[in-house]
Amino acid sequence: MKTNGIKLKPEFERALLDLGFDEFTEIQEKSIPMIQNGEDLIGLSFTGSGKTAAFGFPTLEKVVPGEGIQLLVILPTRELCNQVTREFKKFTKYKKMQIVDVYGGVSIMPQIRNLERADVVLGTPGRLLDHLSRGTMDLSKVKMLVLDEADKMFEMGFIDDIKRIISRIPENSQKLLFSATMPTAIMDIVDAYMNHPKKVRMQSHVEEGKLAQFYYDVSRREKFSLLVHILKEHADGLTIVFCGTRHLVDSVNRNLLNQSIKSKALHGGITQHVRKQVMDAFHRKELSVLVATDVAARGLDIKDVTLIINYSLPKTALEYVHRIGRTARAGEQGKVISLVSDDDYENFARILEDRSLSVERLETPKVKPLQFSRPQQRGRPFQQGNRGFNRNRGNRQRR
């Protein structure tokens, strides 16, 4: 493979080749030498950039099995914790060490037993603090700390938890922070705990020319019918449908099943066991449609996703970018379709303020009207919208 002068220890080079690496990605090429040299590092990168390998290989090769917990990785969600743990175990195929993941929603007792022999720990903030309060995890020998998806952790309210965890590891430990953005909360962590960190930044999160972005201006009453039409007539491969709330995820998924579309729901209210079953089935392509919230899908590395559908629009351009970054990976083509109704106009206008995003409007086709059933919920009564979106003015326009 093309190494561009990067040298890993032999056992990790073998694992790298077994995983089919042809060359290092931009974030890997920039980060690995600095991490090997012991530098504190801030890595600005988006989903799908290869950052797990960027921090995984150079930190794992410094771990000495049997000498206590030396590497701690903090992640925002259980799914991402599972995913990175699986990758770490592949990276250490030829250098066996005890890698333990800890997160809520499952029994704590097996984790307590595993932590007694751990060399590497990956965990979510809440469960890590639980173990620290119980005295079942010793971080006094940690040599390296990684904060992955830092902006999402702070967005989820984990800032104080992270500070408490950092206070329990040696001050001279190497600290690595990976994030898509650098909000004030992250800068507070950088200033308080990191030692003159170097910064690496990805130039692009989506390969130019590989991702086509479209939107339909559609009334709320017709939105589900259009979704089914797209999935049945135009979807080819794995599709992720994003919704704004757990309730909407469940409603959309239930109605898709009624239309004989093989889909599953993924959100924070689903048990860990079921979430794992859903993701395993999606990876194996036993189902073709995943209906998810942003938090549940954040950080998931799913290969061969060809279509992203925004059933409801995110509130910011950043969240939109995170969503679209799950397709058009590794040189493959991808497509994003947003279903924009009148209650999405405000969010869509904010998204389009990012002029790097090129989103083309498509003529909304006439589709067979389908019933969309949902449990009665509080809120304003359902009304059919009759207004159109105007990008130039970024507001609601009467046709």
Consecutive 10-residue averages of pLDDT for the chain (399 residues): 78 91 85 96 79 95 97 92 94 96 94 97 97 97 95 86 96 93 81 93 57 92 96 88 94 95 89 83 88 73 81 86 66 81 93 84 93 64 50 43
Q: Does one domain contain both 222 and 194? A: no
What CATH number is given to the structural domain containing 56? 3.40.50.300
Q: Does one domain contain both 380 and 334? A: yes
3-state secondary structure of 99: strand
Q: How many of the other CB atoms lie within 10 Å of CB of 86?
A: 14
pTM, 2 dp: 0.64
Supply the pLDDT for residue 156.
84
What is the tally of structural domains in the chain? 2
Looking at the domain assignment, is residue 246 inside a domain? yes
Instruction: Classify residue 307 by burial, with Cβ atoms within 10 Å: 0-12, 13-18, 19+.
Output: buried
Supply the pLDDT for residue 47.
61
Looking at the domain assignment, is residue 2 inside a domain? no
Q: Does one domain contain both 378 and 359? A: yes
b/e burial code for range 178-206 (CB count within 10 A of at least 16 → b): bbbebeebbeebbeebbeebeebebeebb
Looking at the domain assignment, is residue 102 inside a domain? yes
Q: Does one domain contain both 217 and 186? A: no
Supply the pLDDT for residue 48.
62
End-to-end CA distance of the chain: 56
For 38: left if phi > 0, alpha if psi spans -120 to 50, otherwise beta; the answer is: left
Supply the pLDDT for residue 276.
80
| Euclidean distance between CA atoms 208 and 329, whole angstroms | 11
3-state secondary structure of 75: coil
Q: Does one domain contain both 374 and 329? A: yes
Looking at the domain assignment, is residue 3 inside a domain? no
Q: Are 285 and 217 in contact (CB under 8 A)?
A: no
CA 338 to chain centre: 19
* Two tokens, residue 135: 């005295």
Supply the pLDDT for residue 385.
44
Supply the pLDDT for residue 386.
45
Q: Does one domain contain both 181 and 219? A: no
| Euclidean distance between CA atoms 268 and 136, whole angstroms | 26
Q: Does one domain contain both 80 and 160? A: yes
| Euclidean distance between CA atoms 311 and 290, whole angstroms | 12
b/e burial code for range 113-132 (CB count within 10 A of at least 16 → b): eebeebbbbbbbbebbbbbb
Amino acid at 196: H
Read out DSSP for 41-60?
EEEE--TTS-HHHHHHHHHH
The domain boundary residue, chosen from 201, 233, 266: 201
* Two tokens, residue 276: 């794992």
For residue 53, which of 99, 84, 80, 96 has the smallest C-alpha distance?
84
Structural domain harbouring 332: 211-398
- Write phi, then psi, for 120 (nearest 5 degrees): -130, 135
The domain boundary residue, chosen from 167, 201, 235: 201
